[in-house]
Chains A and B, each alone.
Chain A
Amino acid sequence: VDVEEVRRRAGVELDEAGVAAVAELLERVIGDAQELEEELDLEGVEPFAVP
């Protein structure tokens, strides 16, 4: 996750610590989702939708 891109696209004023925290959070959440995709067979699975 590019810290500069976080700063540019945040749409909210963030200090340095805030930018770093958002970047770290994004990195973790995106990484977890990638692991999820590798671990589970999602071929043909549609997204959950509220009944």
Chain B
Amino acid sequence: VSDPADLSLARARAAIAVGEVSPTEMVEAVLRRIERENPRLNAYLHVDGDAALAAAAAAPPGPLGGIPVCVKDVIDVAGMPTTAGTAEWRRQPEADAPAVARLRAAGAVVVGKGHTNELAYGIDGRNPHHGDCGNPHDPARIAGGSTSGPTAAVVAGLALGGVGTDTTGSLRVPPSLCGAVGLRTGLGVVPRAGVLPLAWSYDVVGPVARSVEDCGRLLEVLAGRPFPRQAHRLDGLGIGLVAELAAERCEPYVERALHAAAASLRELGARVEPFELPVAHRAGAVHYPIQMAEAAAVHGSRLEQIASRCAPDVRERLVAGRLLPADTVLTAARARRLLVDRTHAAMENARVDLLLAPATPTVAPRRDADNVEVRGRAVPIRSALLSAVLPFSQLPGPTLSLPLGEHERLPFGMQLSGRPGTEELVLRAGMAWEAVR
């Protein structure tokens, strides 16, 4: 093993199991990488090397025994501060969030807290208080957010697994821009206690890793149920290709790669057919009133304290959320119900099990840019990065973000989305695609 920090989670587990690498050596390798790369990437907001080494020495021999993980800094880890990337707000939890407790019980070693957009209320991985998270492929470009730190960490060898949250696209956009795999789990699949919420009806906790298999191994522990390790054929699987998102909202290289992926999935035995996602063009109108109202309510009485030190764009959305009329929020929530019901009915009618769509319209934009060019138009970065993920954020089932292709040596990803309870199916399809990519 040349450098244990470069191993996949699956390979690292095998190496640890046969004594090729000890948990301590594994964690030492990651700490060395953090020391070298974190000043450049800013993937961690907090690292506790001594605690990680002590945990590695005592790591139980579970399915993640000795695996170093990065936990997004909205999720409680006992003994480490939770700051949510804010300027001043913090709590010092005495207990792990249940999701973290499951990881530790399985032998994982928490190395530190990963970078996030302020309050997880952003999609670009920028942070005015703690600095931006750099993209491992080019630190002059954004990593995407808000699960910026765990994603950059797993890609650059600063952890072998990561845990983050997704409200609007935070476990899908960073993996797309950094070349990782992230899973927006279905609502309720992974416990959310001990996680600072952003918007209750959208928030989920999920894994980020270097491969679909590694993602599945993390999810197995986070969700407490077994998931597949291998998949080769997809015979009989129906996949709906949401081509309109790629044609209208993505650069041509993303559209071409998506159609090539559809062809590969057909060769694996899947039936891939065009699929029109109902109400997709209205996903923003559905999402924003609900998210804004819930985010304002989450912070309730401390909103004034938090908002006074927030970046202007976060403060404005928090204040606007407090002032939104109830009928606006309820109209959006009713439209969300319609969108979900129509999508599931359309999938049923078309005998479609999964939906295939792009994850981001471009590769990672530069950190100093406000806009990104999409099909010749300058689009604000936030709008562009949310355009393909927002429709799937409305759905209660899982959505996997995984590498689709590269453009000018920078990665971009795709999404595979299923109905509630289909995490196993989504991972299986992702693994089959990964094997032939």
Contacts and interface: CB of A to CB of B under 8 A. Distances in A.
Main secondary structure of the interface of A (DSSP, over half): helix
Interface residues of A, number: 32
B391 to A, nearest CB: 14
A33 B285 contact: yes
Contacts of B317: 25
A16 interface: no
B157 interface: no
A51 B308 contact: no
A21 to B, nearest CB: 5
B323 A48 contact: no
Interface in B73-124: none
Contact of A11 (B282, B319, B394): B319
Contact of B285 (A14, A32, A46): A32
A21 B46 CA distance: 33
A20 to B, nearest CB: 10
B36 to A, nearest CB: 41
A30 B328 contact: yes
Interface in A7-28: 9-14, 17-18, 21-22, 25-26
Nearest to B328: A33
Contacts of B334: 42, 45-48
Given A12-B304, A35-B285, A50-B187, A26 B320 contact: yes
Contact of A32 (B187, B279, B284): B284
Interface residues of B, number: 41
A4 B84 CA distance: 32
B338 interface: yes
A12 B285 contact: no
A50 B200 contact: yes
B348 to A, nearest CB: 17
Given A48-B340, A51-B396, A12 B332 contact: no
Contacts of A33: 285, 289, 328, 331-332
B282 A46 contact: no
Contact of A14 (B201, B284, B319, B340): B319
8 contacts: A5-B323, A11-B303, A18-B315, A29-B289, A32-B288, A47-B334, A48-B334, A51-B188
8 closest residue pairs by CB, A with B:
A47-B333, A32-B285, A48-B336, A48-B337, A33-B328, A12-B307, A25-B320, A45-B334
Given A36-B286, A37-B331, A42-B335, 8 more contacts: A9-B323, A11-B319, A12-B303, A33-B289, A35-B285, A40-B338, A46-B337, A51-B396
